[in-house]
Amino acid sequence: MASKDKSKFPKVVVVGGGFGGLQVAKKLKDEPVDVLMIDKHNYHTFQPLLYQVATGSLEPDSIAFSLRKNFAGQKNFRFRNAEVTGINPEKNTIDTTIGEIAFDYLVIATGSTTNFFGNKDIKHFAMPMKSIPEALNLRSLILQNIEEAVLKTTRQEREPYLNFVLVGAGPTGVELAGALAELRNHILTSDYPELEKDHMKVYLVDFQDRVLGAMSKEASRGAAEFLKSMGVEVLAGVKVESYDGVEIKFEGGKTIPTKNVIWSAGVMGVVPGGISNDLIVRGNRVKTDSVCRVVGYSNIFAIGDVASMITEETPKGHPGVAQVAIQMGNHTAKTILQLINGEPTVPFKYFDKGSLATIGRNKAVADLGKLKFQGFFAWMIWMFVHLITLLGFRNKLIVFINWVGSYLTYNGGARLIIRPFTPEATPEEPASLSKTN
């Protein structure tokens, strides 16, 4: 039996506490609706800074914020820590790990996960980084392999432990490559005097012919120059053939011995069961109409990374970035109120505020409409935008203090192996720690 809400107000169920889900719930504050948010974690993750958790610059609680605390004081909001297992459109209910829940309006804001494009070996041996548990696993792997390298007596023995291969040269790959290069350039020989800086290699690989393919050519060129100046070897126009946990092979015959392959070459939407396969398009995204409704349904919406609004202007859908999710969330909240009040709806229009990517200390690229910036000024813009977007004053303060400390000392972060990673552990369920919910 689905849970019944005795309230006379329409019930809006939001699945996912990411950027889009947060915006829907926030914009419905003080409106005549009841909002129920469901997420398998009880916190919002600020994904743009996951790479700093993975490299030990930040602790996970500084980029996570309690969903309940975020909506404290919003009287029409409730939260349930659960996982959605299916949608029943004909009954207007969803199946969850805490039972069946009824809705009047449903917003699917489940985001995306790593896409390994069906390669089971790469999925098994490579490391993704789409969540805090995955970032912590990656941190442990990086530090454990450096510790293991210290124990080896020859450079050849150390090589697989100190070769870091990042597949995918989008913002995540570029930023993580820069962070690893800074670890090598400023920290490696200080923390590990037995090693030499040139023992550690950082490779950034992409099948496209340039890094940051979604940004301008100026930003791409600038990022590549910054990376190369930091000692990162950029392999553009190169496709991965296989990885067995010991050696990564590329089409054309090139191989690199490595125990550190980090995969950010693609994402795919996380679609709950119950949505017809006919509505699933490229990237495992749900096809929506011009107001973010799932095609064929009057009261089910999909927003953010899991949604694909295909129009003449966006034949491949919108990019999977936070601003799209935020703007779709804002528009969906307005649309739900328009439907409740019997008012005409308005098509969604995305306003591109620009793109940013940081490569390291004093190095970033920014595309802000016709304005293109590179270097220190772009880096300052990047820091400002990320600080103001973080949830919670405490998080903003902690991140700012960490950044200042790292900038002044060249040696920020604790880099502790608190929870050793074992290959048998799944990315979301580390062997040495219970769930992080």
How many residues comprise the chain? 437
How is residue 357 annotated by DSSP? E
Distances (CA, A) of 25 to 38, 301, 351: 11, 14, 21
Rg of the chain (C-alpha set)? 22
**What would the two tokens of residue 388 be?**
């103001």
Q: Inter-axis angle of helices 322-340 and 19-27, to 10 degrees?
A: 30
What is the separation of C-alpha 407 from the centre of its chain, rounded to a whole number of angstroms?
A: 25
What is the separation of C-alpha 232 from the centre of its chain, rounded to a whole number of angstroms?
A: 23
Residue 252 burial (CB count, 10 A): 9
d(CA 101, CA 38): 10
Going 423 to 424 to 428 to 430, the CA torsion angle's sign is negative
Among 83, 175, 247, 428, the one annotated catalytic: 175
Select from 404, 353, 377, 403 the least CA-distant residue to 222.
Answer: 377
Cβ-contact 159, 257 below 8 angstroms: yes
Residue 272 exposure: Cα atoms within 13 Å on the Cβ side = 28
- The set of residues, in sequence order, having a beta carbon less than 8 Å from that of 380 and lying 6+ positions away, is none
Q: Determine whether 175 is an active site residue.
A: yes
- The set of residues, in sequence order, having a beta carbon less than 8 Å from that of 262 and lying 6+ positions away, is 126, 127, 128, 129, 138, 164, 165, 166, 167, 173, 176
Helix (H) or strand (E) holding 167: strand 163-167
Output the DSSP codes for 211-251. SSTTS-HHHHHHHHHHHHHTT-EEEET--EEEE-SSEEEET
d(CA 320, CA 324): 7
Select from 349, 331, 160 the least CA-distant residue to 259.
Answer: 160
Annotated active-site positions, please?
175
